[in-house]
Amino acid sequence: MGRPPRGIPWLDKRDNGIWYVLWYDGEARQTRRQSLKTAELKPATTAYADFLLSWSEEGRPSRRSLKVVLDFYLKRHIGRSANDTERPMHAAKPILRFFRDRDLRTIDVPACHDYMDARRKQRISDGTIRRELYVIQAAANYALKHKQISTADMPTIDAPRDSPARRAYLTHQELEKIFSTAEADLQDFIALAYYTGSRRGAIEDLTVRQVDLAGGLIELMPHDASPTERLSKKKKPTVPIMPEIRNRLERLVERKMPAATVLPPRSYYHLFKAHATKQGLMEKSYPHILRHSRATHLLQAGVPIYAVAKLLGDTMETIEASYGHHSSDYLSDVFRGKGPKLD
């Protein structure tokens, strides 16, 4: 196939048999390419036509709206390789309802503040608003990395600051209140998440195969985990089956196939949030607080930081930075009466 003028992208079938679209990047002074992921001419031609629709004279896709960039990010990254797909997909909905097809570069600090005000009027927490705005930033970074936009198209994101409440934990009384008033499936989720110190996703995806009742262990990393999951900073360690959840686990895995999930397949995020809010704990209505609470309670009980770090799959530095301040009141009791008196 003959090569069109330099300013227009062209099709080319590479040695691997796959069709690519190529174009000359005038700014970088080099030819770039993008795989059309097919060896067949007809679908390649269709994909090429779609590509040309978004092309500009400057030598890059001209449609740089938030919607286009978000769609690219969600389909190419979140839909294929990300560990957490639910929250970015969920965050995209209010983002697009508010900003619609707005040009990405016009999303600046005032626009972010307008978004914050609108979401707060809907009684949405700052933590949720922060995650939503960071999805815009992540999508823009991903699009820039893959040459879909230029640095001039990047948004300027300002989000609510991380509040101390996000490092909050449930007191023993609050935990008991949430647990005792929860119904069957949610109560099982709370017990497993708390006593394993695990993240929500690990408990939701936990299969019977990962539970070794005879050995007294739960292998949180699934056997068929992808390389991305295994290299993730969010480690999934092997944890002991605590006596408090053994009977519960035995009931949950009974007569189930190895590939079946221990808990009924559903998202427990909104279930937990609604329940905790109903109990008057709106500021603590996110499932991750169970992990925070487990770590804090163990440290307060005098469990060594090393042991807590092993349980959570974190480093000792992370445990100290994230949870150490919750134990300060208890340290006064530990040190009281120790050392000389300076009266």
Per-residue pLDDT tens for 123-165? 888 888 998 999 999 999 988 888 888 787 889 999 987 654 4
Cβ burial, residue 95 (10 Å; 0-12/13-18/19+): buried
133 and 44 both lie in a single domain: no
Is residue 5, in this structure, part of any structural domain at all? no
Is residue 336, in this structure, part of any structural domain at all? no
- What is the predicted pLDDT for the residue at 235? 77
More confidently predicted of 60 and 231:
231
Is residue 102, in this structure, part of any structural domain at all? yes
**Phi-psi bin for 108: left (phi > 0), alpha (psi -120 to 50), beta?**
beta
Cα–Cα distance, 16 to 151 (Å, whole number): 32
- What is the predicted pLDDT for the residue at 136? 93
297 and 197 both lie in a single domain: yes
Does position 208 have pLDDT exceeding 90, yes or no? yes
* Enclosing domain of residue 144: 66-162
Is residue 254, in this structure, part of any structural domain at all? yes
261 and 307 both lie in a single domain: yes
- What is the predicted pLDDT for the residue at 37? 81
Provide long-range contacts, Cβ within 8 A and 24+ apart, for 159-166.
159/112, 159/116, 159/129, 159/130, 159/133, 159/134, 160/116, 160/126, 160/127, 160/129, 160/130, 161/126, 162/130, 163/126, 163/127, 165/127, 165/283, 165/284, 166/127
pLDDT tier for residue 327 given thresholds of 50, 70 and 90 = low
Write down which residue in 117, 140, 162 finishes a domain: 162
Residues 258-275 pLDDT 10s = 999 999 998 899 999 999
The least confident of 46-60, 150-164, 219-233 is 46-60
Mean pLDDT of 112-123: 93
pTM exceeding 0.75:
no
Is residue 58, in this structure, part of any structural domain at all? no
Residues 6+ apart with CB under 8 A from 59: 7, 23, 24, 25, 26, 27
Number of domains in the chain: 3
**Phi-psi bin for 264: left (phi > 0), alpha (psi -120 to 50), beta?**
beta
pLDDT tier for residue 330 given thresholds of 50, 70 and 90 = low
Is the Cα dihedral 328, 176, 271, 202 positive or negative?
Answer: positive
CA 334 to chain centre: 38
265 and 284 both lie in a single domain: yes
Domain of residue 126, CATH code: 1.10.150.130
- What is the predicted pLDDT for the residue at 165? 44
Residues 282-317 pLDDT 10s = 989 999 999 999 999 998 888 888 899 899 988 877
Q: Which runs of E-coded beta strand occur in 148-279?
A: 211-212, 217-219, 238-240
Write down which residue in 105, 130, 162 finishes a domain: 162
187 and 322 both lie in a single domain: yes
Cα–Cα distance, 138 to 182 (Å, whole number): 35
187 and 294 both lie in a single domain: yes
Give the alpha-carbon dihedral of 63, 66, 67, 72, to 10 degrees: 80
Is residue 203, in this structure, part of any structural domain at all? yes
- What is the predicted pLDDT for the residue at 223? 80
116 and 253 both lie in a single domain: no
